[in-house]
Homo-oligomer: A and B are copies of this chain.
Amino acid sequence: MTDLLYWLQGPVPETAPPKVEMPPWGETKVVGKPLPRVDAYERVSGSAVYPLDFALPDMLHAAILRCPRAHAVVKSVDTSAAEKMPGVRAVITGKTPGADIPWFRGRGKWFSKLFDERARYEGDEVAAVAAETRAQAYDALKAIKVEYEELAFVLDPREALESDAPLIHEGTNRYGDPADYARGDVAAGFAAADAVVEGTYSTACEIHSPMEVHGSVVKWDGNRLTVWDTTQGVFEVQEAVAQSLKLPLANVRVIGHYMGGGFGSKLEAGKYTVIAALLAKTTARPVKLFLSREEEFLASGNRPANTMTVKVGAKKDGTLTAIEFSSIGSGGAYPNGASTSFLATDLYTCPNVKARDENVAINAGRARAMRAPGFPQGAWALEQAMDALAIKLGMDPVALRLANVPKASQRRGNQPYTSTGLAECLRDGAKAFGWSEARKRPKGDGPVRKGVGVASALWGYGGGPPATVVVKLYADGSVNVNTGAADIGTGTKTVMAQVVAEELGVPVEKIQIEHADTGTTQYSGPSGGSKTVPSDMPAARAAAIEVRNKLLAGAAEDLKLPFEELRLEGPDVVSAKDPSKKVAVTAVKALERHQVLVGVGTRGPNVEGKVISMFATHFAEVEVNTRTGEVTVTRLLAAQDSARVMNRLTFECQVQGGLVMGLGLGRTEERVLDRQTGKMCNANWHDYKIPTALDVPAEQKVLSVDLVDTECNTAGAKGVGEPATIPTAAAIANAVHDAVGVRVHDSPITPPRLVALLSGRGKKG
């Protein structure tokens, strides 16, 4: 009973610790080091339970019937045969009471019903089944009889704007007015130029293709819903589901402890979660609903195709005088989309700029954010145009870019950047790549030609959303970190542990992370847009410092010394200036009294009047087989400016992944829609090619220019996820041009396309 009696006496008062201050880090012991991931064991051993692995007792399996046509009215749905199939427990359609609801995807935003009467693309939801097994559910789908009234469809955004195009929504196929941007006088700028280039470029539509398909497991307790979801943002899913089901946010708990890739497609919630919730309510059973790989291709998002026209003018010395850029793209059958003009308006110093983005509806799967949405498309056009301009000016492409490095964001009122590492990326990258030597090297005179290319990028959105992190120091000196952020494979948990280890001197092995659970963790925005480190890391740091302050204040009380004289020495001891005075962390009475010391940290606001942006320059070396059109990327080098690198190992891994995705955009990935039927021809991993280990260059180098950024947040880290993939494809295209003198305007650079260009049948740049 001693323990209980001890507690029943109640704690005694203590002095308050001082306010949390976050000075810039000097030399660090843990932050920046190439530590392996804290959850590496679970991930590689298979003991990590991803939502796709998750099972509950008595759980049913659900499947969705999707419209097989590009555009149709759902006239009638006959579920009677399906309901009699073995194991089937529920079948729902848009006519089922309670299922005739709008599907919300953001606060107050909706654009279709859960099962809409009109199917606007191949993959639109028509009905759903819950059965004892997954096979029974898919079998039952086949027994549902649907009468469709087929409608004319349109697949090309430019055709969708023609006056006789079939309308996908009311009134117009435009998603809003064209987004226009202008500064200076473009006509005057081109008039003043010594050289001008102009060209039209296009990128193919890419599918995210995460290892783990989209889906959820759901369970009701009365009017409370728990969702195990594979997601980048548990709070985003909570909001969408709560709105569609008309529940208070507090009644929807979303747990996302692991997730097998998202690349932006899991930034938002999916209809499948609400469908699973309705089936679970009807059957009073937990329900699991995950998409098939085919559904994943059709209905889980994409990076939309864009057609871009770019015109750039410069003086002889390379100084840019004018840029004009226009783009047309498609959010797909429902509104979404991102600007592709950002780079054209802000990557280089240029007084005269004009840009337009147009977003149009087509009868195809809806776009979702995909790693640096809009930017790789913009880079494909702008950075090939810059390459063409350098050739026209007779300048080295690196030198041309160096002549136009910005110090401020022209797009945002010329607010200065907290740091601009573009020049360093260009210079350090060129040196490490052996750029000058490679440029001078002969291209070869056999059928295989060698070439090198360069392209740059920035990611315009630094800083990030609000975040609150709680850090607990246990009585034995071990630590628990509580953050709402999802770890989308980038090492978020590891970086959080490092930050806390740095401030508390605890080895990362003694730090546990609880994360991504709307019920038990505090708020964090969705993990995307290179924001997780800039947003959540300072919050974790503030929480850890608050814990340290409480510990030191307790030790000061115990040792009867002023707070300022004490510091944490290693993980275990608080010691004073006078080395004879010290106390073990676990012996600090305040810790014993409270059993845990709790610190709560929130992210401070972005620095005012400044802009946080990350920069990158990628270098590519290719071998082009002029007979077969095959392009082999032999070397890639990424020079990145993320300012502080939090973990050298996870940083490199993340950039490597970015390079491979860039390789996919440049070389292999393309959604093919059949113009006759409106259906996707390659909704599988056999026909849709993502790069494999054999496609990755033998040499792929990652370089951080390690800029010190004292302006950006407190700890000077800017993020890395997006800029690591933006310029890769353009650098490869420029290298192909260097090798064979042919400019490939349309991604991906496939052998048939290149052979056509080499034989003079395609357009050249």
Q: Which residues of A contact B (CB under 8 A)?
A: 1-5, 7-13, 41-42, 45, 47-48, 55, 57, 106-107, 220-224, 235-236, 239, 242, 248-251, 253, 267-268, 336-338, 369, 373, 461-466, 468, 470, 472, 474-480, 482, 509-512, 514, 517-523, 525-526, 528-529, 531, 593-596, 598, 600, 602-603, 605-606, 608
Q: Which interface residue of A106, A336, A472, A598 has the most chain B CB atoms within 10 A?
A: A472
Chain B contacts for A600, CB-based, 8 A: 470, 598, 600
Q: How many angstroms from the CA of A10 to the CA of B606 in the assembled complex?
A: 6
Given known A250-B511, A466-B11, contact A476–B605 (CB-CB < 8 A): no
Chain B contacts for A236, CB-based, 8 A: 3
Given known A250-B478, A463-B10, A478-B250, contact A598–B468 (CB-CB < 8 A): yes
What would 19 more interface pairs be, CB under 8 Å, given A4-B528, A249-B478, A519-B520?
Answer: A4-B373, A7-B464, A7-B465, A7-B525, A7-B529, A8-B465, A11-B465, A11-B606, A47-B220, A249-B476, A250-B479, A250-B511, A465-B595, A466-B593, A470-B600, A480-B519, A482-B520, A525-B595, A598-B602
Minimum C-beta distance from A550 to chain B (A)? 11
Chain B contacts for A220, CB-based, 8 A: 47
Chain B contacts for A475, CB-based, 8 A: 107, 239, 249
Minimum C-beta distance from A528 to chain B (A)? 6
Asked if B523 and A520 make an inter-chain contact with CB atoms under 8 angstroms apart, the answer reads no
Q: How many angstroms from the CA of A478 to the CA of B510 in the assembled complex?
A: 35
7 contacts between A and B (CB under 8 A): A4-B369, A4-B529, A8-B529, A11-B606, A251-B510, A468-B596, A600-B600
Given known A250-B474, A520-B520, contact A605–B10 (CB-CB < 8 A): yes
Q: How many angstroms from the CA of A116 to the CA of B47 in the assembled complex?
A: 33
Chain B contacts for A10, CB-based, 8 A: 463-465, 605-606
Minimum C-beta distance from A57 to chain B (A)? 5
Minimum C-beta distance from A285 to chain B (A)? 11
Chain B contacts for A373, CB-based, 8 A: 1, 4
Asked if A478 and B248 make an inter-chain contact with CB atoms under 8 angstroms apart, the answer reads yes
A14 nearest CB neighbor, chain B only: B605
Asked if A510 and B41 make an inter-chain contact with CB atoms under 8 angstroms apart, the answer reads no
Chain B contacts for A522, CB-based, 8 A: 470, 472, 596, 598
Chain B contacts for A42, CB-based, 8 A: 221-222
Asked if B461 and A8 make an inter-chain contact with CB atoms under 8 angstroms apart, the answer reads yes
Asked if A5 and B461 make an inter-chain contact with CB atoms under 8 angstroms apart, the answer reads yes
Instruction: Give the 6 A-B residue pairs with the shortest CB-CB distance, closest first.
Output: A8-B461, A7-B465, A248-B478, A520-B520, A250-B478, A10-B606
Given known A7-B531, A478-B250, A523-B594, contact A605–B12 (CB-CB < 8 A): yes
Given known A10-B605, A12-B605, A475-B239, contact A1–B523 (CB-CB < 8 A): no
Partner of A106, one of B2, B12, B253, B462: B2
Asked if B594 and A337 make an inter-chain contact with CB atoms under 8 angstroms apart, the answer reads no
Partner of A466, one of B2, B242, B595: B595
Asked if A8 and B463 make an inter-chain contact with CB atoms under 8 angstroms apart, the answer reads yes
Asked if A4 and B526 make an inter-chain contact with CB atoms under 8 angstroms apart, the answer reads yes
Asked if B512 and A253 make an inter-chain contact with CB atoms under 8 angstroms apart, the answer reads yes
Minimum C-beta distance from A544 to chain B (A)? 14
Asked if B1 and A595 make an inter-chain contact with CB atoms under 8 angstroms apart, the answer reads no
Asked if A605 and B13 make an inter-chain contact with CB atoms under 8 angstroms apart, the answer reads yes
Minimum C-beta distance from A37 to chain B (A)? 12
Q: How many angstroms from the CA of A645 to the CA of B422 in the assembled complex?
A: 66
Asked if A512 and B519 make an inter-chain contact with CB atoms under 8 angstroms apart, the answer reads yes
Q: How many angstroms from the CA of A267 to the CA of B633 in the assembled complex?
A: 64
A284 nearest CB neighbor, chain B only: B47
Asked if B606 and A464 make an inter-chain contact with CB atoms under 8 angstroms apart, the answer reads no
Minimum C-beta distance from A243 to chain B (A)? 9
Asked if A3 and B598 make an inter-chain contact with CB atoms under 8 angstroms apart, the answer reads no
Chain B contacts for A468, CB-based, 8 A: 594, 596, 598
Chain B contacts for A9, CB-based, 8 A: 461, 463, 606
